[in-house]
Amino acid sequence: MENLRSLFILSFLALLFSGCNHDSDYIDPRGTDYAGAESCIQCHQSAYHSALQNAHHKATAPASIENVMGSFMSHNTFAYDQNTKLVMEKRGDSLYQVLYENGKAVKAYRFDIVFGIKNAQTSVYWHNKNTYELPVSYYKSADAWATSPGFSATAPNFDRRVNKDCYECHSSNASNRIVTTNSAANSSSVFMDMDDAIDSKTIVYGIDCERCHGPAKKHVDYHLRFPDVKTAHDIASFKSLSNQQKLDACAICHSGNDHRLKIKPRFPFRPGDKLSDYYRNPLSGTTDYDVHGNQNGLLAQSKCFMESGTMNCTTCHNSHENKVSNLAAYSKVCISCHNNMSHAAPTIKTISENALKQNCIDCHMPKQSSKAIGFQLSNDAKLSSYQLRTHKIAIYPAKK
């Protein structure tokens, strides 16, 4: 009986410490230093489930019916001319952009991966171990299908390859081989290969826990062994980072995509690393930053930021939450510093004091048209503007 009890206890402990993921055979494509984001749910259940709804988590995703935005039943046609059109169609369990010429379907390109969820969504299809951008995207502002950024509205094009640069800010990994050692040197080498092909098994969709906190295998193993220890071991806790390190951790993806400034790929970046090791003087040169991509540069131009000394992205954003549409919550952050705010008489006459306290954002961080992205609707020669909220906090002229 005592032997059976001992065997049971040993079996239970083996199960408890066998691994840090729901699947004990799980091998993360980034290497054995990684535990996989699902290991975090064991101790961080609330943060994990909340993060699943965040735009970071949905920066890329498999193109399942649940993940693809836009209608496939009505208003699902983009006409290039009277003889050529693309139709968004559901065929079985898959979704396609189907090219029709003279009324006949000549080619179907499947939605394989989606990029984005917040303002718009672009999709890609697989071909010969590379992904290629589909020529029509969905835009929330228009609630319609329109040309993907930079694509023609008069002729379809399926040849634009989406390389690893795009995955560096929209996913947590994409490479041409899986790393199986926990050697730091070998783990890094996967991101430095020159072959731009991608193994679909290596993609870690979205921005996951370990993309922001670093490899977690040692962390998970330690806290499973010592569950009563509350101080985080072997993990990058943002609380322990300097203000500049916190900024750099976000800026690695939110400093734009100017290839002239790029020193090396982003994937090897770990919290605590210097952005300047990956980008050459990212805040130098032009100050005319576009609202798409370079939130770091825009924030750095803000008087609030320059005078604060402690302001960083997490001052306003909690990446474990999803408060995109809650302008009042962001405004509370503003008022925490500007509690003795004053407005000009014309502003007070047109906007109530309560409204001013509930929405600082639309006036001081207004939406602006991107100079890098525009789109055209079907049968519309006009270039529609793609608007995003600026991160340059300032006093802007009142709209007339």
pLDDT for res 12 = 40
Torsion angles phi and psi, residue 47, rounded to 5: -65, -40
pLDDT for res 21 = 43
Contact 303, 393 (CB under 8 A): yes
Question: Could you give the CA distance from residue 293 to residue 253 in angstroms, rounded to a whole number?
Answer: 8
Question: Could you give the CA distance from residue 395 to residue 108 in angstroms, rounded to a whole number?
Answer: 49
Q: Enter the tokens of residue 157.
A: 């094009």
Question: Could you give the CA distance from residue 183 to residue 291 in angstroms, rounded to a whole number?
Answer: 39
Question: C-alpha 145: how far from its chain's center?
Answer: 21
Question: Could you give the CA distance from residue 38 to residue 209 in angstroms, rounded to a whole number?
Answer: 9
Question: Could you give the CA distance from residue 206 to residue 54 in angstroms, rounded to a whole number?
Answer: 10
- Tens digits of per-residue pLDDT, 238-290? 889 999 999 999 999 999 878 788 899 999 999 999 999 998 765 555 578 89
pLDDT for res 8 = 42
Domain membership flag for residue 269: no
- Tens digits of per-residue pLDDT, 64-75? 999 999 999 999
Domain membership flag for residue 329: no
Q: Enter the tokens of residue 106.
A: 């000549």
Domain membership flag for residue 281: no
Contact 111, 125 (CB under 8 A): yes
Q: If you ran DSSP here, which 8-state letter would residue 127 be given?
A: E
Alpha helices in 154-302 (DSSP H): 164-170, 184-189, 209-213, 217-225, 243-251, 295-300
Domain membership flag for residue 383: no
Closest CA to 70 of 125, 140, 134: 140
Question: Which residues are bridge partners to 173 per DSSP?
Answer: 204
Angle value at C-alpha 193, between 24 and 241, nearest 5 degrees: 65
Domain membership flag for residue 327: no
Chain length of the chain: 400
Tell me the CA distances in angstroms from 262 to 279, 295, 370, one per residue in order.
5, 17, 22
pLDDT for res 223 = 96
Into how many domains does the chain fold?
1
Counting as low any pLDDT under 70, the low residues of the chain are 1-24, 179-195, 281-286, 322-325, 400
Question: Could you give the CA distance from residue 163 to residue 41 in angstroms, rounded to a whole number?
Answer: 32
The full DSSP string for 292-323 is TT-HHHHHHT-HHHHHHSS--HHHH--TTS--
Domain membership flag for residue 339: no
pTM of structure = 0.87
Contact 130, 198 (CB under 8 A): yes
pLDDT for res 284 = 55
Question: C-alpha 59: how far from its chain's center?
Answer: 4
Question: Could you give the CA distance from residue 349 to residue 356 in angstroms, rounded to a whole number?
Answer: 11
Contact 99, 110 (CB under 8 A): no
pLDDT for res 186 = 42
Domain membership flag for residue 304: no
Q: Strand 113-115 to strand 120-127: parallel, antiparallel, or no bridges (unpaired)?
A: antiparallel
Residue 128 structural domain: 20-236
Question: Could you give the CA distance from residue 110 to residue 48 in angstroms, rounded to a whole number?
Answer: 31
Contact 26, 36 (CB under 8 A): yes
Domain membership flag for residue 388: no
Contact 92, 82 (CB under 8 A): no
Closest CA to 75 of 382, 384, 378: 378
Tell me the CA distances in angstroms from 392 to 32, 87, 316, 341, 355, one per residue in order.
40, 39, 13, 19, 21
